[in-house]
Structure 1
Amino acid sequence: MTQEVQDLQLKDITTVQLPASVTAQKQFLKKLQAALAPEGELSALTTGPSENVFVVPHAAEQAVREKQGHLSTDQWKTLLEDWGALSVNTLALKAYIALETRGAILHEGELISPPKISIPHPEPQVKYQGGAVIQAAFAGPYDWHIDQRSVGAAEAWRMFSGKPSFASDLPWAGVRIAHIDTGYTEHAALGWDSGHSPYVHPDQGRDFWQGDHDQDGPRDPFLPGFPGHGTRISAAIAGFRPDAQGGPFYGVAPGAQIIPYRVTDSVIVDHVQDHIRDAIRAAIASGCHVVNISLGALRPSRALAAALDDAYDAGLIVVCAAGQVWGEVIYPGRFNRCITMGGVGPGLKPWSSAATGIYVDLCGPADEIRRVQAEKLPPGQTATQIAPKTGDGTSYATACCSGAAALWLAWHGLDKLKQKYSAPGLWQIPKAFKYLARKTARKGNWPDSITDKYGSGVLDIPALLKAPLPDAGTMRKENLAYGQFDDGSL
């Protein structure tokens, strides 16, 4: 790679002014797509800071300039003009982000912005093809809760792409996340196509709400309450659709394995705590590595707490929502031996509705979250839409942390972690993750004087991955889930 091309990384972005004609704009995109093929793919161009101006993603520019013989800046400009660009300019990445976020308009919770140029693609998602093209497969722009404005998932993906050991397969494809929620529905952002998804596995999950006699398994029947909640949160964990309506859509761990367990019709779960207990134990038995519980109860359950103890001893990382509206942290997030997520919004400002207090371990994105539109469709029919309004809730912060857990497990290697910690006890895996996630957390946008409301700060995935693992046998086992409050210290 030439120094000139290297210098483009994460500094400047190329913008092109295109003719007003939609046909001409799509012709430009097709030529860019052809130049990227077959190694990479780009399904849409994002609008830039003014009318008919569009952004060429970093990864696409680097790939094309390399493939075309290490093009100089002048040659790159000439090529874009040959494809139909009226003018070609560069814009500092920070300046672009500032322009885009400063000019955002919210109307009744909906983000109003110009449409993208897009060309429909028959495949439900771009498949990962190794570290050399990870930036093309995971091309931006990214939603605020994915990039450096929040948890830094996009930077973490680039870290994976820079390690030769992750060059051939999606690094976290083997991580199994038990999603205990309202069930699943088929959405293209979760890989569904003609009744099949490569990374959502209802046949391996269970329906504890109506029982497994239901032929649809853990499918969400859209009962009154919170229909589609399980789909929306699953997509926040593992969504992977670069050509989504309105721009690329990603979860924190795109393509991680989701095992759905249907336990409820509501996010308030006092009435189904035994179902959650049984789902946790099923997740242990089926070899899951992470458990996501974006649900909450107002009263404690000793039986549920005992299941958390079992998961902890088996080495599973359990992530729970702190809750909102009530003020107090809800169960099971109030128990020990799990990671309890509070919430922040854009600018890392505390989300005003999120529960706070000593039971909160960390904060994550919980407001103005771009989400999928779950739909009640017959089996085999796939939803494709992105919701017209953004979502909120510590459910999303929980999903981001579960995705981070998948990346962390993949970064260090599932087998290597088990080998390292098996002798003293596999509980050291969730203990190490919780300790490091808290230790490496970013400072949120709140006063330094507040030390007991928002946990250790905001989840920072790149810093978490870079942090060295504690030595085996050096950590303290936390108090039982139902026991005296444990601050999670080493």
Structure 2
Amino acid sequence: MGAKRVWSTAGVVALTGALLLTSAPTASADYVRDQQWVLDVFSMQDTWAESQGEGVTVAVVDSGVDATHPDLSGQVLKGKDFTGGGNAHEDTFGHGTGMASLIAARGHSAKNASGMIGLAPKAQILPLRTLQNKDDKNLDETWGAAVRYAVDQGAKVINLSFSSDGGSKTLSDGRQAIAYAQEHDVVVVAAAGNSGAVAVDEPAALPGVVSVGAVDKEGNRWEGSNTGKGLTLTAPGVEILAANKNRSPEYGLSTGTSGATAYVSATAALVRAKYPDLTAGQVINRLIKSASFLGHKGLKAPDDEYGYGIIRPYKAVTMDIPKGPKEGPLGKLQLAGASAQAGSAAGDDDSSTRAKKKSSSSSRLFLIGGIAAVVVIGGIIFAVVRSRGNRGNGGPGPGGPNGGTPPQGMGGYPNQPQYPTAQQSYPTAPPGSAPQHPNPYAQRPPHQGQ
């Protein structure tokens, strides 16, 4: 299968996303919400009736999270800065804020009907800052310390929207941190890489880590997404709207496996909230068994390009799926003579972390796409609006009507074991919705590799 037909999450920051604009005859009350095509194809109103991620903390190991963004108000915990240069609520890059918003944004104004909303709007975000700028190297010992800290702070899901630089291997600091998280029943989700390579980057490729590739609105893989054995799941990652206080009016559209990873982390939070008795491995089991190849016929799971399929949040929280073994289908990272259980004091020693930087390999964040692709429209209504009737995606609040004042512009492993997935129809959009794009996500998913 071709190397260049999936979403990307390369170690080098990828400023390759494009903000695509199309004219529309009318403007909706909240075009930011309109841009979130994922809410329609995932039938999130129905999903939120089952779970909104309540009581679950998701750690975002990234560039920090701006807690002042109106759509993230009240969602962001104190967190910790591991760069020695500020605090976890400072995000000069904007990447971490975007990831947090895809996971747990809850909108703003009356009934939270304006702005964007994440897939798990009642989850909380633990921001862990491991780099400051887009050109910074995300060192193994730095993000490893952050992962350990996340575990010790009670995070149940850890989002790693980055991959190794140039396909390099994860060093002992990172590997031990991943093992530490797995031993403490935490779901670790990481991006497969944005280079279009026929190999999943680390740390996503490590055993037990949920590695994520990206697909577009039609359910087809994105060209830049890394493929190969060890790919676990795919999720939307093309033309994804996310919060970004560095843009005007604080949103951007982008493409990449970073966003896809955040969506999988959010879905894991939904499952953990709905089924708090499940182990991390059993949560992963539900994600895998509820995934679908949609219209892609003749594929067998795990597929090198789609893994076990495209996530389906509604099915992940509603399907009748046996718990399965506690360790789950992906197993765990085994370290020879290792100290995965060793305390996380290193996670609190920022000076020690900085002292190691010269000898470590690095990882870099992959931009959720082209945060660089930005369009600012002064007082003119955004042309990108999809004209819809009653979309039913106004948010998790009662009724969820769209409303509010629109902003003034818009920015832009080792081999996994065979694990059968279930053949279930993908949920259609909420009643009364009229998505602009054909919805392949509503097709019956044939050939699930059983």
Which bracket does the TM-score occupy, shorter chain normalised? 0.5 to 0.7
Distance 1:320 1:267, change over 3 A: farther
Using the alignment, how far apart are the partners of 2:134 and 2:280 within structure 1? 24
Q: 2:224 aligns with which of 353, 365, 386?
A: 353
Check 1:179–1:111 CA distance in 2 against 1; reply closer, same or farther (3 A cut): farther
Q: How does 1:58-457 map to 2 (within 5 A)?
A: 109-113=20-24, 114-117=26-29, 143-147=36-40, 149=41, 151-160=42-51, 172-192=53-73, 198-202=74-78, 205-210=79-84, 214=85, 216-220=86-90, 222=92, 227-241=93-107, 243=109, 248-265=115-132, 271-297=138-164, 298-300=167-169, 301-327=171-197, 328-375=199-246, 385-387=250-252, 390-412=253-275, 414=276, 416-417=277-278, 429-449=279-299, 451-457=303-309
Report the RMSD for the aligned CA atoms in angstroms.
Answer: 3.2
Q: Distance in 1 between matches of 2:205 and 2:18?
A: 35
Tell me the number of residue pairs that the alignment of Structure 1 and Structure 2 aligns: 318
1:478 paired with 2:331, answer yes
Counterpart-to-counterpart distance in 1, 2:175 and 2:135: 17
The question of whether the paired residues in 1 share the 8 Å contact of 2:216 and 2:237 is answered with: yes
- Compared with structure 1, are the counterparts of its residues 316 and 200 closer, same or farther at alpha carbon in structure 2 (3 Å cutoff)? same
Assess, with a 3 A threshold, how the Cα gap between structure 1 residues 220 and 265 changes in structure 2: closer, same or farther: same
Kindly provide the amino acid, as one letter, of the partner of residue 217 in structure 1: N
TM-score normalised by structure 2 residue count = 0.63
Which AA in structure 1 matches 2:126? Answer: I
Report what 2:362 is aligned to.
none
Q: Who wins on radius of gyration, i.e. which is larger? A: 1
Q: Which has the higher contact order (CA 8 A, sep 6+)?
A: 2
Deviation of 1:466 after TM superposition, in Å, equals: 2.1
CA distance in 2, matches of 1:190, 1:449: 39
Check whether the contact 2:18–2:254 (CA below 8 A) recurs between aligned residues: no
- Kindly provide the amino acid, as one letter, of the partner of residue 257 in structure 2: T
Report the CA distance between 1:469 and its aligned residue: 4.0
1:180 partner SS: strand
Tell me the SS of whatever aligns to 1:312. Answer: helix
Give, in angstroms, the shift of residue 186 of structure 1.
Answer: 3.7
**TM-score under structure 1 length normalisation:** 0.58
Q: CA deviation at 1:112?
A: 4.1
| 1:55-89 C-alpha deviation (Å, 9 max, x unpaired) | xxxxxxxxxxxxxxxxxxxxxxxxxxxxxxxxxxx
Structure 1 unaligned regions, length at least 5: 1-105, 119-139, 161-170, 193-197, 377-382, 418-428
In structure 2, relative to structure 1, the CA distance for the partners of 1:320 and 1:482 (3 Å cut) is farther
**Runs of 5+ consecutive residues of structure 2 not aligned to the other structure:** 1-16, 337-412, 420-450
Q: Which structure shows the bigger proportion of residues in helix conformation?
A: 1
For 1:477 and 1:343, the matched residues in 2 are separated by 20
Q: Aligned equivalents of 1:321 and 1:206: distance in 2?
A: 22
- 3-state SS of 2:195 partner: coil
State the alpha-carbon separation in 1 of the partners of residues 219 and 211 from structure 2: 17
